[in-house]
């Protein structure tokens, strides 16, 4: 537990000093949202389905950009190797990466949610449920992305491979997130959203435990 905290703190301090990831990822998410606005706004007002979809697509796209860059930075400084050589359990390393990625994505999501609600003119009721939906979705996304981001360490064409590996697997997260958000925005149907929340919980449980289990053999040869 303590090593998770220390590893996480390391990532936070590095990022606080550089601020590169946060700015780059937020700006990327903003640009993606603007592109969607140019595509959808201007004509008749799109339905809330579109707003929910745009939010989650922007999160997914910005997520991979941020994660890709985060692991690129580890690779440039060869710090991943140092971490793998250090006497911390591999599972702690995985969990800390997962939480670090989630933190980054939560910041991006806060900005994206604000922009989507402003630009698409949706009012957010059931704010707490929406936040829970976003947090669980982020954890599921990060559970998959942290594993493949770390194990892509030495692979060629990493930048192409990361989204290629992550997106097909996180499709259930995107479906659950989008459907849950739509349920909250349109009819404000908390029962449907609660169902998707439970679904995301199952997804997170499956993929975090699978990630902890697979991380060790997957990155073992890379040290």
Residue 156 near another protein by CB under 8 A: yes
> Measured from the CB atom, is 87 or 168 closer to another protein?
168
Q: Give the count of residues interacting with another protein (CB under 8 A).
A: 31
> Measured from the CB atom, is 92 or 174 closer to another protein?
174
> Measured from the CB atom, is 103 or 214 closer to another protein?
214
Burial 5-42 (b: 16+ CB within 10 A, else e): eebbeebeebbeeeeebbeebbebbbebbeebbeebee
> Measured from the CB atom, is 20 or 222 closer to another protein?
222
Taking contact as CB under 8 A, which single stretch among the options 33-41, 65-73, 101-109, 167-175 is the one that binds another protein?
A: 167-175
Residue 148 CB, nearest approach to another protein (Å): 7
> Measured from the CB atom, is 18 or 171 closer to another protein?
171
Taking contact as CB under 8 A, which single stretch among the options 2-10, 57-65, 68-76, 206-214 is the one that binds another protein?
A: 206-214
Residue 183 near another protein by CB under 8 A: no
Residue 165 near another protein by CB under 8 A: yes
User: Which position among 114, 175, 187, 223 is part of the footprint of another protein (CB under 8 A)?
Assistant: 175
Taking contact as CB under 8 A, which single stretch among the options 5-13, 22-30, 77-85, 148-156 is the one that binds another protein?
A: 148-156
Decide if 3 contacts 88 (C-beta within 8 A).
Answer: yes
Contact set with another protein (CB under 8 A): 144, 147-148, 151-157, 161, 164-165, 168-169, 171-172, 175-176, 179, 199, 202-203, 206-207, 210, 214, 217-218, 221-222
């Amino acid at each position: 537990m303590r090593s998770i905290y220390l590893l996480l703190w390391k990532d936070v301090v590095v990022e606080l000093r550089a601020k590169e990831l946060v700015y780059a990822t937020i700006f990327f998410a903003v640009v993606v949202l603007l592109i969607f606005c140019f595509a959808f706004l201007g004509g008749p007002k799109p339905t809330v389905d579109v707003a929910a979809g745009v939010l989650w697509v922007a999160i997914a796209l910005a997520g991979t950009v941020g994660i890709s860059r985060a692991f690129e930075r580890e690779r440039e400084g060869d710090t991943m190797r140092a971490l793998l050589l250090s006497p911390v359990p591999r599972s702690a390393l995985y969990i800390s990466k997962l939480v670090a990625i989630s933190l980054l994505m939560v910041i991006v999501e806060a900005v994206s949610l604000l922009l989507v609600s402003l630009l698409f003119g949706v009012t957010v009721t059931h704010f707490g449920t929406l936040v829970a939906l976003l947090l669980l979705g982020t954890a599921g996304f990060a559970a998959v992305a942290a594993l493949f981001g770390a194990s892509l360490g030495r692979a060629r064409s990493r930048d192409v491979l990361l989204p290629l590996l992550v997106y097909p697997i996180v499709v259930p997260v995107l479906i659950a997130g989008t459907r849950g958000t739509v349920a909250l925005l349109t009819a404000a149907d908390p029962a449907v959203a609660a169902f998707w929340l439970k679904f995301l919980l199952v997804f997170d449980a499956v993929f975090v435990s699978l990630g902890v289990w697979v991380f060790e053999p997957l990155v073992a040869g890379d040290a």
